[in-house]
């Protein structure tokens, strides 16, 4: 697997998306896909776990057909597994059995190597992919139109893989307005460790440090109250991902443990460099680092 990240300009033929599209799960990602795909004129059939979810999904119009029976996927030419990582890595036998053998199957998980390892043996036409779109919302109420517009949708195809299957997933990404790119699965996991999973832990640590640091002062300072009263938009922004969904945070840590541990080691080193400049009163050096950061950030936006 040596595919380097490549953006593809021309959208592939819509032919790759003919026939009904199956969605497994109608949370934020699945529900948003359902809304966008129906708007493009596609037939969408969805499988959900609970009858209550199915009922609410029907009310919200997230798919034309919603069922708790995996047989709903029969006849689908493309199936998107919009499941949390734990359920994706440990799928029910009924789900695996219900996936049509000729259908292209893809997922939306935020870690790709373990998913690819697991699904390579489960379905002949599996393509690992990851739309980089998120929100603080989750569940059947979270799906919304245009979630993917302008966002990256990255696929990590196996070497010597199924070209038409990859083209179908690319057509799906194009249909919802996402920016398509492909890369190696290990490269993906390393990249998201740095820009998506590491920030969750550094941001969580900031909340913990503010709480614990504020617990320390003399009682008459009432630092816990003062610290909370003075926190402003900078603190809110910096702690947003650290104060997010704990289950998602644990799943990404579990599934991308090695790359995240490596990212943390690198982060600790960078922070210690800044700390040493503070300790040494090396203001020129600190200004150099912060100027570099100011110039660096726009490259990531």
State the nearest-atom distance from the C-beta of 56 to its own copies, in Å. 24
CB atoms within 10 A of CB 24: 26
138 is a site residue for its own copies (CB under 8 A): no
5 is a site residue for its own copies (CB under 8 A): yes
State the nearest-atom distance from the C-beta of 244 to its own copies, in Å. 7
Binding to its own copies, residues 261-300 (CB under 8 A): 261-264, 266-271, 273-275, 278-279, 281, 283, 286-287, 289-294, 296-300
144 is a site residue for its own copies (CB under 8 A): no
Stretch touching its own copies by CB under 8 A, among 38-46, 100-108, 115-123, 228-236? 228-236
- Tokens for 290, please give them: 């912060």
- Tokens for 152, please give them: 């990256």
| Alpha-carbon distances of 279 from 210, 286, 288, 296, rounded to whole Å | 20, 11, 16, 24
Pairing relation of β-strands 44-47 and 65-67? parallel
Total number of residues that touch its own copies (CB under 8 A): 106
State the nearest-atom distance from the C-beta of 208 to its own copies, in Å. 4
Do 178 and 32 contact (CB within 8 A), yes or no?
no
* Residue located via tokens 């289950």: 247
Encoded one letter per residue, x for contact with its own copies by CB under 8 A and - for no contact, window 146-165 reads -----xx-x-----------
Among 11, 61, 84, 243, binds its own copies (CB under 8 A): 243
- Which H or E run includes 152? strand 152-155
29 is a site residue for its own copies (CB under 8 A): no
188 is a site residue for its own copies (CB under 8 A): yes
* Residue located via tokens 């610290």: 227
| Alpha-carbon distances of 205 from 55, 219, 301, rounded to whole Å | 40, 24, 24
For residues 61 and 177, which CB has a smaller minimum distance to its own copies in the complex?
A: 177
């Amino acid at each position: 697997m040596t595919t380097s990240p490549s953006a593809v300009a021309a959208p592939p033929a819509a032919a790759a998306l003919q026939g009904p599209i199956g969605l497994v799960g109608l949370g934020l990602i699945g529900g948003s896909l359902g809304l966008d795909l129906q708007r493009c004129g596609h037939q969408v059939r969805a499988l959900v776990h609970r009858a209550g979810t199915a009922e609410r999904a029907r009310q919200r119009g997230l798919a034309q057909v919603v069922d708790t029976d995996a047989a709903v996927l029969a006849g689908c030419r493309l199936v998107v597994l919009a499941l949390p990582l734990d359920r994706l890595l440990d799928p029910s036998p009924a789900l695996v059995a219900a996936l049509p053998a000729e259908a292209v199957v893809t997922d939306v998980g935020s870690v790709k190597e373990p998913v690819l390892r697991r699904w390579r043996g489960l379905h002949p036409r599996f393509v690992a992919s990851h739309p980089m779109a998120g929100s603080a919302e989750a569940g059947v109420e979270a799906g919304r139109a245009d979630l993917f517009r302008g966002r990256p949708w990255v696929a990590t195809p196996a070497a010597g893989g199924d070209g038409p299957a990859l083209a179908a997933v690319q057509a799906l990404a194009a249909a919802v307005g996402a920016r398509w790119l492909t890369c190696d699965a290990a490269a993906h996991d390393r990249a998201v460790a740095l820009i998506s999973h590491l920030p969750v832990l550094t941001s969580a640590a900031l909340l913990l440090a503010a709480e614990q640091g504020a617990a320390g002062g003399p009682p008459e300072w009432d630092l816990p109250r003062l610290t909370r009263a003075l926190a402003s938009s900078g603190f809110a922004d910096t702690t947003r991902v650290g104060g997010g969904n704990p289950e998602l945070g644990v799943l990404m840590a579990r599934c991308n443990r090695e790359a995240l541990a490596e990212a943390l080691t690198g982060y600790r080193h960078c922070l210690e460099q800044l700390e040493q400049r503070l300790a040494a009163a090396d203001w020129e050096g600190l200004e150099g680092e912060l100027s570099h950061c100011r110039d660096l950030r726009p490259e990531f936006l």
